[in-house]
Amino acid sequence: MKFFIDTAEVSEIREAAMTGLVDGVTTNPSLIAKSGRNFLEVVAEICALVPGPVSAEVTANDFDTMLKEGRKLAKIAKNVAVKVPLTVDGLKTCYALAKEGTQVNVTLCFSAAQALLAAKAGATFISPFVGRLDDIGTNGLNLIADICTIYRQYPNLKTEVLVASVRHPVHIVESAKMGAHVATMPPATLKQLFNHPLTDKGLAQFNADWKKTGQSIL
């Protein structure tokens, strides 16, 4: 499974990239607003830090403007994945950009039927939002299972399942077990993946035992 970082804070991306665990980045208008910086400048800076896909979202709702925005975003760097909403005009834009060789991330997916449409439109990634489904009393992981099952039936569909709205490590582990290709997560959630009390306990014991030897490797 590939790990994407869901943030527009360049300092967080730089720190996460140093682990060697980051395969890409996702941003959205809300994250850009939190950063307080110029959108195009932020995208260009992120693309220079991470060699993998960097999702940059269009802000228009109509096809003609979405396509213009998408083409402008795609020119920022080769690793830009233009992010479009799962609407009729969004899928039209996806189809047009995909034919031009641009990576497209179709976002705000909440059903398997929508995911099938996105794949047929040539999406590089489909972003189902598990956390938001959980918020309304639905098990978001069931959607991941359904999409992965459908995509496996049709090898000609090349769209990757990008698990979004991740709230905790369980979302990531369970999605990986289902065969999802990517999980995008806030930096804090990535750090949670490292944590286990037995790791901390074992390290403390090793350190205590080593100290007793009075030795130094350096």
Let me know if residue 120 belongs to a domain: yes
Examine the residue annotation and report whether 99 is marked as an active-site residue of this protein. Answer: no
In a domain, 133, yes or no: yes
Amino acid letter for position 16: A
Q: Which of 157, 137, 166 is nearest to 149 (CA)?
A: 157
CA dihedral 205, 191, 111, 62 (to 10 degrees): -170
Give a yes or no: residue 11 inside a domain. yes
In a domain, 116, yes or no: yes
Would you write out the chain's pLDDT as a tens digit for each of its 218 residues?
A: 999 999 999 999 999 999 999 999 999 888 888 888 899 999 999 999 999 999 999 999 999 999 999 999 999 999 999 999 999 999 999 999 999 999 999 999 999 999 999 999 999 999 999 999 999 999 999 999 999 999 999 999 999 999 999 999 999 999 999 999 999 999 999 999 999 999 999 999 999 999 999 999 99
Q: Is 218 contained in some domain? A: no
Task: Report the domain count for the chain.
Answer: 1
CATH number of residue 32's parent domain: 3.20.20.70
For residue 167 the two structure tokens come to 């709230």
56: containing domain? 2-213
Q: Looking at the domain assignment, is residue 114 inside a domain?
A: yes
| pTM reported for the whole predicted model | 0.94
Q: Residue 168 — left, alpha, or beta (φ > 0 → left; ψ -120 to 50 → alpha)? A: beta
- Residues across the chain: 218
Name the phi and psi angles at 150, rounded to 5.
-65, -50
CB 116 within 8 A of CB 148: no
Q: Active site residue: 2, 34, 72, 83, which one?
A: 83
